[in-house]
Amino acid sequence: MTVAGACRRQPRIAIVGAGISGIAAAVALRRAGFGDFTIFEKGPDFGGTWRDNTYPGLVCDVPSRYYQFTFAMNPEWSQLYSTGSEIKEYLCRTARTHGLDRRTEFRTEVVGAEFSGADWRVTTARGEVERFDFVLCATGFLHHPKKPDIPGLEEFAGPVIHSARWDPAIDLTDMRVGVIGTGSTGTQLVGALAGQVPKVSMFQRTPQWILPTINRAYSPLAKALYRRLPVLGKVAYGCNRATFAAFSQGLVHPGLIRRVIQWVVERNLRSVRDPELRRKLTPDYQAMCKRLVVSDRFYQVVQRPDVELVTSGIEQVQPRGVITADGRRHDLDILVLATGFDSHAYMRPMAITGTDGRTLDQAWAEGPRAFEGVMMPDFPNLFMLVGPHSPFANHPLTAVAEAQSHRIVRWLKRWQAGEFDSVAPTRAATDRYNARLRAAAPGTIWTTGCQSWYLGKDGLPELWPWNPGAYEKLIRRAPDPADYTVSPAQSAFRAASGK
Ligand code: N01
């Protein structure tokens, strides 16, 4: 497609992934009048991580009045922090309301995308190849379960199940359950299983700070008010946003918020009466260095006689249980791996090839890098949603995805106006941007002495190191043409940019 005579041309767009960010992007495209898009989704439904995760006790730790799209405010949330299934239903409903089911190819995995010089050739696992002007990678970063490398794991006689691949058909009633991992998932699982099964053994490698909370249900009256007065939903969204902005200050700057949070979590830990158990549960790093776990019941549950916190390291798994470094054997009937995700994969293992045969693996040899979280040099007309260094620590991805969709639509409009055929950020701009991120990283809580899935190969967080509000401001402003290389019409592009 050429720029000449290209007035009001319609781009063909591929969106890979029908989770939160894929839905946000597709709705933004629709609303901006871009109707020629296909969503490729490897699973059977919308919802992404909220479709894949169905383990008992799954509750979102961001209030639902904030963890929702601004274009689809839901008055019907049943409680302050909604369950995974309620969020999944909300996402499916929103997608269908906006007609996205008609544009989605479910059970269709994209395995590769190659830039031909003029457009993208997108290949599915069935071997079909389709051509698109733009590719939007909305694959998220919590979708590849991480299996621990523990000797003997394959020998275990009972089921071994990752939390993100929960099997509701398994009857746990008489089972002694081993849960490996103490992140957000492990703590929620143990909270839900305690009392429902004869025994839960929780294998802890690193203790977590726990932020206490109260999850309350919305009364029928409250829901009716939210239904009748939509402004209430907007007010609640705004209040939550302000609260999270204040909380985020603690993540990216030392100071009062950090001290307050530290005080709160230490006080919460004092609810554990047994000093020995309390000692075992006490982290040796600052609160929020790892992603803060939010729970209304974990400390109560871990003090139950039918719950054991095992802190001696796992040496080996045997057919009937686990042997720990202190020589003890823990008899178990099922092992649940709450061991997290390969959060650095992003859209991999898709094989993505940009200009001059440059592959994504080559571009990311030193770790995932992007320009402003959404684009990469050498990969023209390819956008990421919630890409590297987006602000996703305790911040709702709904808000991030909406802001990034706004930027993508802006580029599509310029393409449609014939300003360019392909656009990518320059390497120089991307290097400068990433140097700024690296320079700011030491000021954040994430580099204060803990291991976490936030950290990349270089030990620095793959997170936006400032307040999320600053990111939204950045991504919603007009891109600076000096940071981009466009083809073929540099002059038309610059003239339109007023530079
Ligand atoms: O995973 P994690 P997660 N032997 O990586 C341990 C989101 N989420 O699934 O700390 C023993 O945080 C590991 O130990 P250590 C949220 O963003 C959100 O819990 O590395 N243990 C750790 O304890 C969250 O942050 C909600 O020493 C091993 C645990 O496994 C993200 O998902 C709910 C081990 C992994 O913790 C991931 O959370 C749930 C081994 N070999 C999840 N390997 C909401 O509420 C790993 N571990 C929105």
The verdict on 172 and 139 lying in the same domain is no
Q: Each residue of 42-74: b (16+ CB within 10 Å) or e?
A: bbebbbbbbbbbbbbbbbbbbbbbbbbbeebbb
User: Looking at the structure, do residues 347 and 332 belong to the same domain, yes or no?
Assistant: no
Ligand 1: which atom is nearest the Cα of residue 148? 41
Domain boundary among 279, 314, 337: 337
Same domain, 333 and 376: no
Q: What is the CATH number of the domain that holds 369?
A: 3.50.50.60
DSSP letter assigned to residue 59:
B
Looking up tokens 């040496």, which residue turns up? 315
Instruction: Specify if 117 maps to a domain.
Output: yes
Domain that holds residue 177: 153-337
Q: Are residues 256 and 119 in the same domain?
A: no
DSSP 164: G
Considering the entire predicted model, what is its pTM?
Answer: 0.95
Q: CA torsion angle for 406, 411, 412, 418 (degrees, to 10)?
A: 150
Confidence of residue 113 (pLDDT cuts 50, 70, 90): very high
Q: Which of 316, 337, 358 is the C-terminal boundary of a domain? A: 337
Pocket of ligand 1 (CB under 6 A): 59-61, 142, 148, 150, 180-186, 188, 203, 205-206, 291, 314, 338-340, 451, 453
Amino acid at 238: G
Is residue 148 in a domain? no
From CA 36, how far away is CA 414, in angstroms rounded? 16
Give the residue, out of 91, 142, 144, 185, with the most ligand 1 atoms within 8 A of its beta carbon, to mutate for a pocket test: 185
Per residue in 316-358, pLDDT (tens digit) is 999 999 999 999 999 999 999 999 999 999 999 999 999 999 9
Tally of domains in the chain:
2
Cα of 293 to ligand 1 centre, how many Å?
10
**Statement to judge: residues 260 and 212 lie in one domain:** yes
pLDDT beyond 60 at 110: yes
- Is the CB of residue 134 less than 8 Å from the CB of residue 382? yes
Residue from 50, 87, 90, 339 whose mutation best tests the ligand 1 pocket (most atoms within 8 A of CB) = 339
Cα–Cα distance, 472 to 236 (Å, whole number): 19
Average pLDDT, integer, range 390-394: 86
308: nearest Cα among 291, 326, 284, 287: 326
Specify whether 275 is located in the same domain as 351. no
| pLDDT tens readout for residues 443-496 | 999 999 999 999 999 999 999 999 999 999 999 999 999 999 999 866 666 666
Would the pLDDT of 315 be above 90? Answer: yes
* Same domain as 362, residue 293: no
> Measured on CA atoms in the order 463, 466, 468, 472, is the torsion positive or negative?
negative
Q: Which residue has the tokens 């904030």?
A: 66
Rg (CA), the chain: 24
